[in-house]
Amino acid sequence: MSINEHEYKNTELEELRLEAMRRKVVSVDPQTPKIKHVTIHMTDGVLIPKKDSHLFNSWRITFFSAIALLTSLVLFKPKPYRDIFLVTIKGAPVTFQATILAIIGAVLIGTVTGLGAVSKKRWVNVVSGVYVELIRGIPLLVQLIFIYYAMGRFFKIEGMIAAVTALAICFGAYMGEIVRAGIQAIPQGQMEAAIALGMSRGQAFRHVILPQTVKVILPAIGNEFISMLKDSSLVSTIALSDILRKGREYISRTFLSLETMLVVALIYLIITLMLSRLVGMLEERLHNNG
């Protein structure tokens, strides 16, 4: 037998051996059930779990439980809970007015502060940083009292103006950090690509960077809005008739502190849960629209 014939037979035997191994691994038996192939779609998005859409999720349980408890107290024990509710709910317009005006001011201040924090000018960075560190280091109640009482000696400042100013200045510092973090979260390549297409730096910032930043920071802004609504209860210290102030006035007349604070807590809980749901719906719409 020549060398070539020997190599040919070895090659043929090797092929037969490989074919036998394949048959062991992959069954060709027609009785064997077919394996259902699953297609895996790869994306470059963040793996975020879907929101719980079950009927009894945590938000629904908390919201409807609060509604049921408040309704049962008002209907089945009108004395004193119905009287407390009718008195305290009169402070809701003041609470909403202070919160909405303050959130507008905080967003404006926070946007300017956040842009200053990422500015290429050194002195602008320093001013923004000093503002953030100064305001975050002073409690909101102290700022509120200082603006209303201390500055009120030199300027005619009404209660609502003082409340909105203090809330806007305080939360503007936190908004500034949120905006700064949102801008820095956008990849640098977005700015470079916009400039390469002929946009100026300002145009690229307005039309490319900021729209993406809004989508990134919206959940954090929603949380700040809810926190501001709760912290607006501090305006009762400067005699604004908000929900908490109405409750404290009722306590001073009846001494029913436990019952009154329970109703006040339920009212704040229901309002904040409604706002959190609205923020969640807005997030979903922005996510679906890209």
- Residue 31 located in a structural domain: no
Helix/strand/coil (H, E, C) string of 28-39? CCCCCCCCCCCC
Q: Which residue has the tokens 């300027």?
A: 155
pLDDT, tens digit, 9 for 90 and up, residues 225-263: 888 999 888 888 887 889 999 999 999 999 999 999 999
Q: What pLDDT does 49 receive?
A: 43
Q: Is residue 155 part of a domain?
A: yes
User: Which residue range is the domain that position 162 belongs to?
Assistant: 64-289
Which is more confidently placed, 84 or 203?
84
| C-alpha gyration radius of the chain | 31
| Residue of 275, 234, 225, 201 lying closest to 110 (CA atoms) | 225
Per-residue pLDDT at 26 exceeds 50? no
Higher pLDDT, residue 188 or 41: 188
Q: Residue 57 domain-assigned?
A: no
Question: Over the stretch 56-80, which tens digit does the pLDDT of each residue have?
Answer: 578 889 999 999 999 999 999 988 9
Rounded to whole angstroms, the Cα distance separating 208 from 170 reads 29
User: Is 3 among the domain residues?
Assistant: no
19 lies in some domain:
no
Cα–Cα distance for residue pair 141/166, rounded to 1 Å: 9
pLDDT greater than 90 at residue 90: yes
- Of these ranges, 15-19, 82-86, 158-162, 201-205, the one predicted with the greatest mean pLDDT is 82-86
CATH number of the domain that residue 122 is part of: 1.10.3720.10
How many domains is the chain partitioned into structurally? Answer: 1
- Return d(Cα 230, Cα 95) in angstroms, integer: 9
Q: From CA 166, how far away is CA 145, in angstroms rounded?
A: 9
The span from the CA of 214 to the CA of 68, in Å, is 36
Whole-angstrom distance, CA of residue 288 vs CA of residue 239? 44
For helices 58-76 and 257-289, the axis angle rounded to 10 degrees is 150
Nearest one of 77, 110, 119, 71 to 259, comparing CA atoms: 77
**16 or 290: which leads in pLDDT:** 16
Is 92 inside a domain boundary?
Answer: yes
In a domain, 149, yes or no: yes
* Closest to 264 in 3D by CA, of 230, 223, 228, 227: 230
Supply 120's token pair. 């290429």
Asked if the structure places residue 229 within a domain, the reply is yes
Kindly indicate the confidence band of residue 104, based on its pLDDT and cuts at 50, 70 and 90.
Answer: very high
Average pLDDT of the segment spanning 95-109:
92
Residue 144 contacts residue 237 (beta carbons within 8 Å): yes
Q: Does the structure show a pLDDT above 90 at 174?
A: yes
